[in-house]
A and B are shown apart, each in its own frame.
Chain A
């Protein structure tokens, strides 16, 4: 059985940007052909993709799948199906499960659940420290053997600089990137939204920008000291972006991501005490939002991730300061990011770099649309209008601030290993 994707504009940065027919066989890209220049063999499923964009499978390097431990919020299967519905062919799952993914057994379990889901792929990240407690290194080599692609104590900062240094050195020898959750908890001090006028008006304790950038600066220093690969998660402030920009100029081996909400919303957009807008780091000011867009434009921000953080309604339908941090993002990320293209901030080519190629590089994968590679592919319809409706989400959770938002452009088909795992065609 073969699949022929016919007549799509293929946008594969550094490789292709033209109208092509893509032939897929046995789960792999078989041939990339000039349209109408070839015969179609019998037993070929032909997908008419005229007017659509074919891009390498999108990869989200920052999602929370909640399994094991909090399956009522999300499971590996429900999260991966939500990813596929959002156009992602693979995700990197954060280790703050219960128990924490700090050993080979948990890693193996997550990977096996991922295979059973028969949807998008999962590449787990393992914890830096045992239990993500920030005291002793986790069994990183065991986890690497089991299949982790990165380490992080995401959800928590590594407070101890010495432990962070050792983690960077240890992972360097294994060529594993270290993903940094940059947050100084002492400065956060129980804050629940961005420090600024909106927080002052609402009487909500604020989180200053420095709570993020102070740790970004520390870990840039440690990256310089060790020469290891450091990747900063969910960047939200002007100061962090500027620090990373300068570090990159000096040749420090750092990368970073931001999430769609940080270039879409600010703390001014938060309706009074609406916990769907509560996330960590918090929505920042307009100045920060502009700095994020600028960072995406000039390449300081390498990729867009979602920080997909599912929570049950019960954990959000409470007082603002007591509500869980985090929003889901897998099924809204692509339309929100495409707005950067529609608004003229990024070319489509650059966006694909940030949502497909750079994430693949971070995880040590190749998702080029080229014969021999696994056929992981996303088909995008740039012209389809839709209104974000959480009732249609495949994720088990509904905690999004984007309900009712009008957006343009979405993934209409997702193929993983040559199988159609999501289709709106």
Chain B
């Protein structure tokens, strides 16, 4: 089967088959990272631009390592060093980037839709590495990969997502992707963090933390964005932790082989207690490892892979 997509902008526009193909490819790529020489020539001569207009450590590094392990050339642009600080518009910056003939632009931006808007103006592939509160497809795909790796499948699993759903692009992409693959997704947060209509995106909204984590096969905790606290979302971290923090007592309600995930960075002691974050059921670092493999898969499918078999 050929992978027909030019861009990875959100999970919504990927079919079940396409998601399965990406995950299968990623499992194959994972082996590369475990070799003593972690490099294959697959994307030799290809250029990947990492266009990050918002702070990011792990996502940017993950994409960069993924590209390098496939032998692509990478260049990266951060907000402080881009012409956007001189007043250039996003579209003009994107057109300039394209004029230098990259094969893929990986984009992170604080505005929802920015990657979509750029993808409409350039001929190369665009991967959305997070746009505003809209989507973070590679994170959702690596989450699916991590769950599938541990549980064998996604279908029929009870997956609970807890935290600031309103401001989380990870949550939106996970809800869409996991429900598309047949999982039962529940979300939980104070009402101030539940966006209107979210139940129509493929999840149910649990009344409280206890009912949300009950019988869960996977619990995904989201970061409390401390910078948003001034936004009247909850009165104090202490109160949030007592109502929505994941601790031993609550995790006991979940399935015995529950796995715990977190897209990072964590606020230890707020949304997740340290003993759980560091326990055997925590998949948090596996997610990071899988992230590189998954992003290698995306690069392979978009820039090499079946569309350019001669470069293999």
Contacts and interface: CB of A to CB of B under 8 A. Distances in A.
B113 A320 contact: yes
B89 A321 contact: no
A203 to B, nearest CB: 3
Contacts of B78: none
Contacts of A202: 112-113, 134
A196 B131 contact: no
A203 B89 contact: no
A345 to B, nearest CB: 28
Contact of A203 (B91, B134, B200): B134
A257 interface: no
Nearest to B134: A203
B36 to A, nearest CB: 42
Interface string B120-151: 00000000000111110000000000000000
Contacts of A205: 133
Contacts of B12: 201
B169 interface: yes
Interface stretch (B23-31, B190-198, B299-307): B190-198
A268 B135 CA distance: 19
B109 interface: yes
B109 to A, nearest CB: 7
B201 interface: yes
A46 B35 CA distance: 90
A195 B197 CA distance: 9
Interface on chain B toward A: helix, strand, loop, or mixed SS?
mixed
A319 B196 contact: no
Most chain B CB atoms below 10 A, which of A205, A272, A322: A272
B201 A203 contact: no
B205 interface: no
Interface string B96-134: 000000000000010111101100000000000001111
Given A201-B201, A203-B172, A273 B135 contact: no
Nearest to B89: A318
Most chain B CB atoms below 10 A, which of A199, A201, A317, A318: A201
B196 A318 contact: no
Contact of A314 (B89, B114, B132, B135): B89
B90 interface: yes
Interface in B145-195: 169, 172, 195
B259 to A, nearest CB: 27
A195 B112 contact: no
A74 to B, nearest CB: 22
B111 A196 contact: no
Give the size category of B's interface with A.
20 to 34
B117 A273 contact: yes
A206 interface: yes
Contacts of B198: 200
Contact of B112 (A204, A314, A318): A204
Contact of A199 (B91, B196, B200): B196
Nearest to B91: A317
Given A195-B196, A318-B90, A200 B201 contact: yes
A200 B134 CA distance: 8
B7 to A, nearest CB: 13
Nearest to B176: A201
Contacts of A272: 113, 116
A200 B197 contact: yes
A47 interface: no
A205 B228 CA distance: 14
Contacts of B135: 203
B195 A200 contact: yes
Nearest to A206: B196
A375 to B, nearest CB: 47
A200 B176 CA distance: 12
A199 B113 CA distance: 11
A13 B36 CA distance: 87
A197 B113 contact: no
A156 B116 CA distance: 31
Nearest to B169: A203
B116 A319 contact: no
A273 B91 contact: no
B113 A196 contact: no
Contacts of A197: 196-197, 200-201
A304 B253 CA distance: 58
Nearest to A273: B113
A315 to B, nearest CB: 10
Given A203-B132, A203-B133, A203-B134, A319 B113 contact: yes
A157 B116 CA distance: 33
A200 B89 contact: no
A203 B112 contact: yes
A205 B231 CA distance: 13
Given A203-B112, A273-B117, A321 B132 contact: yes
Contacts of A314: 89
A319 B134 CA distance: 13
Given A200-B195, A202-B134, A203-B134, A321 B112 contact: yes
B2 to A, nearest CB: 25
A197 B117 CA distance: 21
Contacts of B197: 196-197, 200-201
Contacts of B134: 202-204
Contact of A320 (B111, B169, B201): B111
A320 B112 contact: yes
A196 to B, nearest CB: 5
Contacts of B195: 199-200, 206
A169 to B, nearest CB: 35
A318 B114 CA distance: 8
A319 B201 contact: no
Contacts of A203: 112-113, 131-135, 169, 172
16 contacts: A196-B197, A197-B196, A199-B196, A200-B196, A202-B112, A203-B113, A203-B133, A203-B134, A205-B133, A273-B112, A273-B113, A273-B116, A314-B89, A318-B89, A318-B91, A320-B111
Interface of B: 12, 89-91, 109, 111-114, 116-117, 131-135, 169, 172, 195-198, 200-201
Interface of A: 195-197, 199-206, 272-273, 314, 317-322
Nearest 8 CB-CB pairings of A with B: A203-B134, A197-B197, A273-B113, A319-B111, A203-B112, A203-B133, A200-B195, A200-B197
Given A201-B172, A204-B112, 19 more contacts: A196-B197, A197-B197, A197-B200, A197-B201, A202-B112, A203-B134, A203-B172, A204-B132, A204-B133, A206-B196, A273-B112, A317-B89, A317-B91, A318-B89, A319-B111, A319-B117, A320-B111, A321-B111, A322-B111
